[in-house]
Amino acid sequence: MSTSVILQGEAAYRAARRQKWRATLLGLVILAACLLASARISEAYPATLLAGLPRIGEYFSRILPALRWDALLGGVETEGSLAFWMYRLDSWAWLLFETANMAALATLAGAGAALLLAFPAARNLGAGRVLNPLARRLLEAMRTVPEIVFALIFVWAFGVGPLAGILAIAVHTAGACGKLFAESIENTGLGAWAGVRSAGGGWAQACRFAILPQVAPSLLSYALLRFEINLRSASVIGFVGAGGIGEELYKVIAFNYYEEISAILLLVILAVFAIDLLSERLRHRVIGAMR
């Protein structure tokens, strides 16, 4: 190989690198311009953020309980004790149980609907030119509308209570899980599918016996993850009268019962931790059984 060819190759390589750097720099400049324009339109000014940060710290300092070491294990009437801080633990625990029940029922109903819609929504299973886009658009509509909007609609239709919250979360869960389920199906191999179809199995039979066993662990993981998310959602939609711990949290925030705010938030966080641990154990057991 001659020296001129090597030099030409090096020159071409340097030119390609310069072109790549220019394209990267141009992309960064465009991104920065878009971010600045978005910040200006949304009024997210640095001065406003800096002015509000101390107020956030002040609010968190107010909701922290005034616990004292010498009275930590005292009774309900002893200020500075854990019992004094959690003086309504029995009622909060019941509301939290109600919230977890709402999340569980909504997850079960939503994941079931998502499973039915995921197979026609998957592009690789040939559900048809009408059924496939119809299923995908339906899933998009269900997950685009926030749970709190669905909750307002269902509260108006069914009245104040947990039913409205369950339905609201279930609809949004169906849309969110349906997309994830469909993507899992699209990423799976079609060897078993072709085998079932060639043996005379119908479309639904191929979905059940060829695709579902392959994607079941992934679907279970997504459903359990959604359960954790739904517990948080069930706490939030209680603000509009959909039942659960959210209603109580809204009241204590509205009346500035600062220590009660931190107590309820701590209980919600602990509940999410517990559900995360239980979900992980359940997921591992089910996946191990399937293998």
pTM of the shown model: 0.77
CB 95 within 8 A of CB 234: no
Q: What is the pLDDT along the chain (291 residues), one digit of tens a residue?
A: 566 666 676 777 788 888 889 889 999 999 999 988 888 887 777 778 788 788 888 888 888 888 888 887 887 778 888 888 888 888 888 888 888 888 999 999 999 999 999 999 998 888 888 899 999 999 999 999 888 888 888 888 888 788 888 999 999 999 999 999 999 999 988 888 888 888 888 888 888 888 998 888 889 888 988 888 888 888 888 777 777 788 888 888 888 888 888 988 888 888 888 877 887 787 777 666 655
Amino acid at 99: T
Amino acid at 2: S
| Chain-centroid distance, C-alpha 262 | 23
